[in-house]
Amino acid sequence: MTRLLIILGLCVNITVFAQTSEKYNSEYAGFYRAEELYEKEQFAAARMEFRAFIDQLGKPNDPMYVKARYYEGISALELSNNDAVALLEKFNADYPESIYHKEIFFRLGKFFYHKSDFNEALIWFNKLSVKDVSTDNQSEFLFKLGYANFQEKNYDAARSAFHDIKDDSTQYSTPALYFYSHIAYMNEGYPVAEKGFLTLMKTTQFSSIAPYYLAQIYYLQREYEKVIDIAPSVMDTSKVFNQNDMNHLVGDSYYRLNKFSEAVPYLEAYNKNAQTTRDDDYQLGYACYRSGLYDKAARMFDRVANGKKDSLAQVALYHTAESRMKQNNLASARSAFGAAAAINVDPKIQEDAL
């Protein structure tokens, strides 16, 4: 029995050797050498071998010749050679019924996509439907089609592509859900955007940015309690996206709910790190005033007034006076009341200030 197994093993080895020997001694030997180089990703050497085989064989209708032409172009594409696109376009022109015809469209689309030439990428991607792409590559195709359209501001086309893969389980699904939700947010489709970003909060990739979108969505819908509920849970982490804007959203939400003491630390943090407007400064000043922080309030109101003669300055000066009175600083209070009365905008404030 053992001898029989040995003999069988020898026979198999001899057969394999004979087949390999025949393969590398046939008229297709050059193709097989080039193919080995291609599989090892030695594209420069592979391209040279494919070209040598093509020139040597000289049979344009031979399947191996056709295959060599295709791989010559793909090797050139992998190397980003200047003639790569022309080679593959010529291949498609010469062999319009080839099984590689649509694969070339996909390859060229990806080539320009990775060069960030999204307009050119779309020229090639748009020659394909998802059914034209192998099952293994469909998610990649749809994501890159969507992203290229997104970059070109073709948002409806981008949304459609992202929609088809956002609920899958490939590496492209989570980014697709992000862009799909972002487009919904841009289009004021807040329920759709909210659903997407709530899912994205649970992912590693987008857990830091999703709360920012959700806070804005709730804020824009005047759901200030929801802003307060979602934002502080991530405010103390190092991963929070755009923390200063989050400070503003949370602080303003507390302010609009008349929770002035809670608003102050967020508005102060925002004020410290942003180029604020006079309205921002007034809001912080008023929150401080309502929280009993009269010195801080007066300083913010003074910043708002700052020599201006408009309605906001008049109100700020009036509140400055009130703040100084709370501190029993009567001289400063009288001065601020006088400045408010001197601004001829709101007669009622003028009357009260005198």
Q: Dihedral through CA 211, CA 213, CA 215, CA 216, nearest 10?
A: 170
Query: For residues 166 and 179, what is the distance between their CA atoms, to the nearest angstrom?
Result: 9
Q: Are residues 213 and 199 in the same domain?
A: no
- CATH number of the CATH domain containing 139: 1.25.40
Distance of CA 188 to the CA centre of its chain: 18
pLDDT at 17: 47
Query: For residues 332 and 322, what is the distance between their CA atoms, to the nearest angstrom?
Result: 10
Sign of CA pseudo-dihedral 290, 292, 294, 295: negative
pLDDT at 220: 96
Token digits for 245? Answer: 């804007």
For the stretch 85-139, pLDDT in tens is 999 999 999 999 999 999 999 999 999 999 999 999 999 999 999 999 999 999 9
Q: Are residues 199 and 137 in the same domain?
A: yes
pLDDT at 21: 54
Token digits for 251? Answer: 């602080």
Residue 83 lies in a domain: no
Q: Are residues 257 and 317 in the same domain?
A: no
Q: Walk along the chain (354 residues) in steps of 10 and give the mean pLDDT of each run.
A: 51 47 74 96 96 94 96 96 96 96 97 97 97 96 98 98 96 98 97 97 91 94 95 66 87 97 96 94 96 95 91 92 92 89 88 77
Domain finish residue from 265, 284, 309: 265
> What DSSP letter does each residue of 209-222 carry, written as one string?
THHHHHHHHHHHTT
Residue 227: name the closest of 208, 212, 243 by CA. Answer: 212
pLDDT at 6: 52
Residue 76 lies in a domain: no
pLDDT at 174: 97
pLDDT at 11: 45
Domain finish residue from 157, 183, 207: 207
Q: Are residues 163 and 235 in the same domain?
A: no
Query: For residues 274 and 280, what is the distance between their CA atoms, to the nearest angstrom?
Result: 10
Q: Are residues 250 and 288 in the same domain?
A: no
Amino acid (1-letter code) at residue 330 = L
Residue 220 lies in a domain: yes
Q: Are residues 235 and 284 in the same domain?
A: no
pLDDT at 15: 47
Structurally, how many domains does the chain consist of? Answer: 3
Token digits for 185? Answer: 């947010």
* H or E stretch covering 348: helix 347-353
Query: For residues 136 and 246, what is the distance between their CA atoms, to the nearest angstrom?
Result: 40
200, with CB counted inside 10 A (0-12, 13-18, 19+), is buried
Count of CB atoms situated within 10 Å of the CB of 102: 17
pLDDT at 20: 52
* Whole-model pTM over 0.95: no
3-state secondary structure of 260: helix
**Domain of 181, in residue numbers:** 132-207
Query: For residues 270 and 276, what is the distance between their CA atoms, to the nearest angstrom?
Result: 8
Residue 52 lies in a domain: no
For the stretch 147-170, pLDDT in tens is 999 999 999 999 999 999 999 999
Domain finish residue from 265, 285, 310: 265
